[in-house]
Structure 1
Amino acid sequence: MQVIPVLDLLDGHAVRAVRGERSRYRPIQSSLCATSEPLDVARALLAATGSTTLYIADLGAILERGAHVAALAALSGTLGSSVTIWLDAGFTDFASMKALFESIADVARSSDCAAFVPVFGTETLRDPRAIASAQAAGFEPVLSLDYRHGRSLGLLSHDDSGWWPSRVIVMSLDRVGAFDGPDLGLFAAVLSLAQGRSLIGAGGIRHSHDLQLAARSGASAWLVASAIHDLAICR
């Protein structure tokens, strides 16, 4: 099972998530590096995990306070084409995704940039046709099924898997940064609907034993942040 490191962006800093309660997020204090500067944190996360995929949640965009266009362009240009960035920026539809991607590309203007993969989270997504539109435009979108305390978030049905893409995240927001362990019951329930799709878990990983349990659950990958920063899991 792959570990995908997570970088949460808010007010120009990499921040530490706390149960998905974004008012409590503060600039990261990490054992990996001495700064909350996004590029330094991104490099440290990738080095610590050996991953070539970085998940970024642009909380400024999700909270409708403005996307981190310049920071995302800098990350893409500096990390380079060997890295893929999965970006959740609170997309409501395909048009909002396309507009942000074009804005980032205009600022980056580099031939050796990290590729962006759009993550459509049900917390904000309003038009499920965005998935098909992104696929038709040459992207490989990821769907994030967002939950809090086991309850689905957003207006779209989580029980009809017909519109799901090939990769789906099971996002337990209340487990993020909570040190409560992964919600494997929820993951199993979604897996029963997945019909062979690749499922990625998110939230709750505390240590290597949790990773072992997550791997046995059928997850192809798990999104992790706090346990990496706290050196609770090793490469």
Structure 2
Amino acid sequence: MRIIPVLDLKDGQVVRAERGERHRYRPIVTPLAESSDPVAVARGLRTLHPFQTFYIADLDAIAGLAPNRDTLARLRGLADAPELWVDAGFADAGPLEAALAAPGVCPVLGSESQADDTLLRRHRDHPDLILSLDFFADGLFRGPPSLLENADLWPRRVIVMTLASVGSGAGPDFSRLAEIRAQAGDRDIVAAGGVRDEGDIRALASEGVAAALVATSLHNGTLTAEQIASLHG
């Protein structure tokens, strides 16, 4: 079971997510770092565990603003450079293909950013591509229906993003994860949203979930370094 820390970026800072209500996101305050600077926060997370992968939600790029490229370069410049799973609102072939060619970057194709399934059809077999199936606070899927309904289009890694649970402490959406898992075949399913503690991670693993994107429980200490060491694969 992989635990993948989340860095939500806005205006060059790490912000704390709240149920997908992005207008409410504010710079993070965490005991792991003295500031909300992304490199400082990433280093702080690595005091808990030597994480080799970080998930990056570039909220500016997702909103159609300038992407946080300099921040991504700084994160890649960390000692023992991490792999970055990056959702930067990819909606056109050029930026996606540039990200696929970038060393150490696995672009995340967010369903909310897609007008149709063209990009996914074109690049689904690329080993670095990740699909995010995005469910918003109203519980509804955001994106072309074919992305959710046609599992043959899915790449080998699929994130189930339940934004209503992000930062909520409400627990993962086990029923939705089970539904996606049943369609996924041998693909890796990644849970995102609501992970509270060690019990949730163990429950996800028992359901065949390959990894979990985690933020709040790392910063508030409900997942300790010792627990992460015992859980992390």
Q: TM-score, normalised by structure 2?
A: 0.89
Within 5 Å, which residues of 2 pair with 1:54-93? Answer: 54-81=54-81, 83-93=82-92
Distance 1:206 1:88, change over 3 A: same
Do the aligned partners of 1:175 and 1:204 also contact (CA within 8 Å) in 2? yes
Match of 1:177 in 2: 167
Q: CA RMSD in A?
A: 1.9
Instruction: State how far apart, in whole Å, the 1-side matches of 2:222 and 2:151 are.
Output: 34
Query: Structure 2: which 5+ runs fail to align?
Result: 229-233
Match of 2:139 in 1: 150
Do the aligned partners of 2:133 and 2:158 also contact (CA within 8 Å) in 1? yes
Alpha-carbon deviation of 1:98? 3.0
Match of 2:45 in 1: 45
Instruction: State how far apart, in whole Å, the 1-side matches of 2:223 and 2:135 are.
Output: 25
Within 5 Å, which residues of 2 pair with 1:25-40? Answer: 25-40=25-40
Instruction: State how far apart, in whole Å, the 1-side matches of 2:44 and 2:119 are.
Output: 33
Corresponding pairs, count: 223
Instruction: State how far apart, in whole Å, the 2-side matches of 1:173 and 1:27 are.
Output: 18
Match of 2:129 in 1: 141
Alpha-carbon deviation of 1:79? 4.4
Query: Structure 1: which 5+ runs fail to align?
Result: 106-113
Match of 1:199 in 2: 189
Do the aligned partners of 1:122 and 1:156 also contact (CA within 8 Å) in 2? no
Match of 1:14 in 2: 14
Distance 1:154 1:79, change over 3 A: farther
Match of 2:199 in 1: 209
Do the aligned partners of 1:6 and 1:57 also contact (CA within 8 Å) in 2? yes
Do the aligned partners of 2:127 and 2:156 also contact (CA within 8 Å) in 1? no
Do the aligned partners of 1:146 and 1:152 also contact (CA within 8 Å) in 2? yes
Equivalent position amino acid for 1:154 in 2: G
Alpha-carbon deviation of 1:213? 1.4
Do the aligned partners of 2:171 and 2:196 also contact (CA within 8 Å) in 1? yes
Between 1:49-58 and 1:150-159, the stretch displaced more is 150-159
Alpha-carbon deviation of 1:129? 3.5
Match of 2:231 in 1: none
Do the aligned partners of 2:4 and 2:55 also contact (CA within 8 Å) in 1? yes
Q: TM-score, normalised by structure 1?
A: 0.88
Alpha-carbon deviation of 1:100? 5.8
Equivalent position amino acid for 2:93 in 1: F
Match of 1:109 in 2: none
Instruction: State how far apart, in whole Å, the 1-side matches of 2:93 and 2:169 are.
Output: 34
Distance 1:68 1:28, change over 3 A: same
Between 1:37-46 and 1:121-130, the stretch displaced more is 121-130
1:160 to 150, 166, 171: 150
Match of 1:222 in 2: 212
Alpha-carbon deviation of 1:93? 3.2
Alpha-carbon deviation of 1:28? 0.4
Instruction: State how far apart, in whole Å, the 1-side matches of 2:116 and 2:79 are.
Output: 31
Between 1:124-133 and 1:156-165, the stretch displaced more is 124-133
2:75 aligns to what SS in structure 1? helix
Instruction: State how far apart, in whole Å, the 2-side matches of 1:186 and 1:150 are.
Output: 10
Between the aligned residues of both structures, percent identity stands at 39
Alpha-carbon deviation of 1:125? 2.1
